[in-house]
């Protein structure tokens, strides 16, 4: 299960948001309270000072308006100023209109009396006839000092000013103490808020955490767990809805899994190949039949373009395949194995018409194409084989009809040719009938037990006795008895066809070898000649119908091209196999096998 980081937890976020809101609210309230408190304390302080200054101004103005000598005025003013001082006021000075200090409340500063004031604030107040004030930091005591200069006016004429220095640092100390008290209260409030917030957040986030864990469990395919419902509020209703969703997903997954298994079973057991692509034309699904047809492995197919897999990238783009309405033929043939496929295309799309991909169904048409080709070749060969003797017969018969029958020298020759071609057509038709019966399995084997060496020797003797060419027969037969169950007529025809072909293609002075050997549960018969041989590429074709290694010579000798085809069918009907080995210019060897049964001694007479 994936863990959520500390700073990504909704629990912590809830507490932090709650604390931040409280902190911001208290900061706003504290700032407003401190600002208002500072203004109030300053206002109370200045009001207190101003009230004293108003009284002092009145007394000073009265003293300055009396007609007395200068030393007496200084004494009286000092008396008035002494009565006006307090703990908040550190010094009071009286200055006339010419900026001369007339009196001061501080005895230590008595030397200043009679000197001109150098304070700018005094000059500004006398010149503007308005009160001036300022606050500065006393560097010696590091305390803030409030300076107030109030002009003294009599009959709209300024006669002087009162300079007051007061200790306003007490006000700021009171503000600092109150701020510290407020900060302590904020800290206590935040601590309580955090503790309460943690409990509240835990109550609210516990169902959410349960749903998160359940969602992660569901992502792994486990729908057995249920979310605990803690109440009937919105979160409780969400938990109920989540449990209902879990049940629905479980049912949907079961249905989807069942359908997926059915689809997989269908695809795996289909003889046709099926390929599915995504909307970009890349293969996303392929069954085993398609892999076998394409002769590829799954890792070489998945996520590759379908046009490349089918080998049609030169002729078609993926967009072209989407619009194809007809199937296309695919040739995957090799020299060793033919493979002709037919591909049908259908698109998968949403209800909106958006194309999701392409479905390709592959049919293996190799056998059908082979059958069609053999049928066309068979019809062509039969037509050709029949047309040749018929054309010859028609020519000779037309000549006879034109009067050649009256010529005693030519007529017998023409009739002989006609008879020969007729017998050739009869042999061809008989061979075709035999093949037809074998193809339809409409024939019976008259099986009997024979000793194969004696049977084989009798056939060889017949050919050796009747041969007209100078060909030597070399018999490599063992003295061991091989008893086989065969149809002697059909097996005689097989051996006759093979020996006849060997004699046809053997040159004068050549040799034909015969041998019979045993291997396990069958005997192997060999008949070889020293004829012209067969090209290696065509060796396997000599058992095809109408195939001839030398067409001109075969026809001249009356061959139909069906002898070895019939031999193969008969050998296979006896449960054996037949094949050929040949080297061009050196001769051809035909092999065939027959099953053999081992007999106990004394069982045969």
Q: Are residues 115 and 54 in the same domain?
A: yes
- Given a cut of 90, whether residue 81 has pLDDT beyond it is no
- Given a cut of 50, whether residue 354 has pLDDT beyond it is yes
Q: Are residues 277 and 242 in the same domain?
A: no
Q: Are residues 47 and 168 in the same domain?
A: yes
Predicted pLDDT at 603: 47
Predicted pLDDT at 71: 59
Rounded-to-integer distance, Cα 438 and Cα 204, Å: 87
Contact in structure between 561 and 544 (CB atoms under 8 Å) = no
The most confident of 62-66, 147-151, 175-179, 209-213, by mean pLDDT = 147-151
- Given a cut of 70, whether residue 549 has pLDDT beyond it is no
Domain of 285 in residue numbering reads as 270-364
Rounded-to-integer distance, Cα 274 and Cα 286, Å: 6
Q: Are residues 26 and 155 in the same domain?
A: yes
Q: Are residues 286 and 231 in the same domain?
A: no
Rounded-to-integer distance, Cα 190 and Cα 136, Å: 37
- Given a cut of 80, whether residue 560 has pLDDT beyond it is no
Q: What is the 3-state secondary structure (H, E, C) of 465-510?
A: HHCCCCEEEEEEECCCCCEEEEEHHHHHHHHHHHHHHHHHHCCCCE
Confidence of residue 604 (pLDDT cuts 50, 70, 90): very low
pLDDT > 70: percent of the chain: 86
pLDDT > 90: percent of the chain: 3
Q: Are residues 144 and 19 in the same domain?
A: yes
Q: Are residues 573 and 544 in the same domain?
A: yes
Q: For residue 229, give the DSSP letter.
A: P
Confidence of residue 50 (pLDDT cuts 50, 70, 90): confident
Long-range CB contacts for residues 130-136, cutoff 8 Å, separation at least 24? 133/46, 135/168
- Given a cut of 60, whether residue 497 has pLDDT beyond it is yes
Confidence of residue 550 (pLDDT cuts 50, 70, 90): low
Q: Are residues 19 and 161 in the same domain?
A: yes
C-alpha atoms less than 13 angstroms from C-alpha of 96 in its C-beta half-sphere? 15
- Domain total of the chain: 5
Q: Looking at per-residue confidence, does 210 or 530 come out higher?
A: 530
Predicted pLDDT at 200: 73
Contacts of 170 (CB under 8 A, 6+ apart): 45, 88
Rounded-to-integer distance, Cα 305 and Cα 287, Å: 16
Q: Compute the average pLDDT of residues 202-213.
A: 73
Q: Looking at per-residue confidence, does 416 or 492 come out higher?
A: 492
Residue 2 lies in a domain: no
Q: Compute the average pLDDT of residues 279-288.
A: 87
In this prediction the pTM is 0.42
Q: Looking at per-residue confidence, does 456 or 372 come out higher?
A: 456
Q: Are residues 163 and 18 in the same domain?
A: yes
Contacts of 306 (CB under 8 A, 6+ apart): 275, 277, 281, 282, 283, 318, 321, 358, 360
Contacts of 12 (CB under 8 A, 6+ apart): 6
Q: Are residues 123 and 37 in the same domain?
A: yes
Predicted pLDDT at 6: 45
Q: Compute the average pLDDT of residues 510-520.
A: 88
Of 241-250, 329-338, 429-438, 566-575, which gets the smallest average pLDDT?
A: 429-438
Q: Looking at per-residue confidence, does 231 or 508 come out higher?
A: 508
Of 51-60, 433-442, 463-472, 525-534, which gets the smallest average pLDDT?
A: 433-442
Of 99-108, 158-167, 368-377, which gets the smallest average pLDDT?
A: 368-377
Residue 234 lies in a domain: yes
Residue 602 lies in a domain: no
Give pLDDT tens digits for 85-136: 777 777 888 888 888 888 887 777 777 878 888 888 888 888 888 888 888 8
Predicted pLDDT at 10: 64
Q: Are strands 510-519 and 522-528 parallel, antiparallel or unpaired?
A: antiparallel
C-alpha atoms less than 13 angstroms from C-alpha of 589 in its C-beta half-sphere? 10
Q: Looking at per-residue confidence, does 82 or 492 come out higher?
A: 492
Residue 417 lies in a domain: yes
Q: Looking at per-residue confidence, does 452 or 201 come out higher?
A: 452
Average pLDDT taken over every residue of the chain: 78
CATH code assigned at 451: 3.30.565.10
Among 387, 406, 439, the domain-final residue is: 439
Predicted pLDDT at 2: 43
Beta bridge pairs of residue 448: 486
Of 184-193, 255-264, 367-376, 490-499, which gets the smallest average pLDDT?
A: 367-376
Q: Compute the average pLDDT of residues 473-498.
A: 86
Predicted pLDDT at 442: 57
Listed in sequence order, the DSSP H helices in 118-157 are 120-128
Predicted pLDDT at 436: 66
Residue 186 lies in a domain: no
Q: Are residues 285 and 146 in the same domain?
A: no
Residue 219 lies in a domain: no
Q: Are residues 504 and 387 in the same domain?
A: no
Confidence of residue 384 (pLDDT cuts 50, 70, 90): low
Confidence of residue 514 (pLDDT cuts 50, 70, 90): very high
Predicted pLDDT at 548: 61
Q: Compute the average pLDDT of residues 152-156.
A: 82
């Amino acid at each position: 299960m994936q863990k959520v980081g500390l700073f990504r937890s909704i629990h912590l976020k809830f507490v932090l948001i709650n604390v931040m809101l409280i902190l911001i609210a208290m900061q706003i309230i504290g700032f407003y309270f401190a600002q208002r408190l500072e203004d109030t304390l300053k206002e109370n302080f200045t009001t207190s000072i101003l009230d004293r200054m108003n009284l002092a101004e009145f007394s000073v103005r009265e003293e300055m308006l009396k007609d007395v000598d200068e030393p007496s005025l200084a004494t009286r003013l000092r008396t008035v100023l002494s009565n006006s001082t307090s703990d908040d006021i550190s010094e009071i000075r009286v200055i006339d209109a010419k900026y001369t200090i007339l009196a001061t409340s501080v005895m230590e500063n008595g030397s200043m009396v009679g000197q001109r004031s150098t304070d700018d604030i005094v000059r500004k107040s006398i010149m503007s006839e308005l009160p001036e004030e300022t606050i500065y930091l006393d560097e010696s005591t590091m305390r803030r000092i409030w300076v107030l200069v109030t002009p003294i006016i009599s009959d709209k004429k300024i006669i002087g000013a009162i300079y007051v220095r007061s200790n306003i640092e007490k006000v700021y100390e009171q503000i600092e103490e109150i701020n510290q008290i407020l900060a302590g209260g904020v800290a206590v409030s935040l601590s309580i808020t955090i503790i309460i917030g943690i409990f509240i957040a835990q109550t609210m986030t516990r169902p959410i955490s349960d749903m998160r864990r359940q969602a992660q469990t569901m992502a792994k395919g486990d729908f057995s767990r249920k979310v605990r419902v803690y109440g009937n509020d919105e979160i409780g209703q969400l938990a109920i809805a989540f449990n209902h969703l879990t049940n629905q997903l479980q049912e949907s997954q079961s249905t989807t899994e069942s359908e997926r298994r059915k689809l997989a079973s269908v695809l795996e057991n289909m003889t046709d190949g099926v390929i599915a692509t995504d909307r970009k034309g890349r293969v996303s699904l392929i069954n085993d039949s398609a892999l076998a047809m394409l002769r590829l492995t799954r890792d070489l197919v998945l996520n590759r373009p379908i046009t490349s897999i089918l080998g049609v990238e030169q002729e078609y783009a993926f967009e072209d395949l989407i619009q194809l309405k007809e199937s296309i033929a695919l040739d995957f043939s090799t020299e060793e194995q033919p493979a002709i496929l037919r591909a049908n295309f259908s698109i998968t799309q949403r209800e909106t018409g958006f194309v999701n991909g392409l479905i390709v169904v592959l049919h293996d048409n190799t056998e059908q194409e082979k059958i069609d080709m053999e049928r066309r070749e068979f019809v062509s060969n039969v037509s050709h084989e029949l047309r040749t003797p018929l054309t010859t017969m028609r020519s000779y018969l037309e000549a006879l009809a034109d009067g050649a029958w009256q010529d005693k020298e030519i007529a017998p020759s023409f009739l002989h040719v006609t008879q020969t071609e007729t017998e050739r057509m009869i042999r061809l038709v008989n061979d075709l009938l035999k093949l037809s019966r074998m193809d339809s399995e409409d024939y019976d084997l008259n099986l009997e037990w024979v000793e194969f060496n004696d049977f084989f020797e009798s056939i060889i003797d017949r050919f050796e006795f009747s041969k007209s060419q100078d060909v030597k027969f070399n018999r490599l037969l063992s003295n061991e008895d091989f008893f086989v169950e065969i149809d002697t007529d059909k097996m005689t025809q097989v051996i006759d066809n093979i020996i006849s072909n060997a004699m046809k293609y053997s040159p004068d002075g050549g040799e034909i070898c015969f041998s019979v050997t045993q291997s396990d549960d069958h005997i192997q018969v060999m008949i070889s000649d020293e004829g012209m041989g067969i090209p290696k590429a065509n060796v396997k074709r000599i058992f095809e119908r109408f195939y001839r290694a030398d067409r001109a010579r075969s026809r001249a000798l009356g061959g139909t091209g069906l002898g070895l085809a019939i031999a193969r069918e008969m050998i296979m009907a006896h449960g054996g196999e037949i094949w050929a080995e040949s080297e061009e210019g050196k001769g051809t060897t035909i092999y065939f096998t027959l099953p053999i049964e081992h007999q106990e001694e004394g069982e045969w007479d």
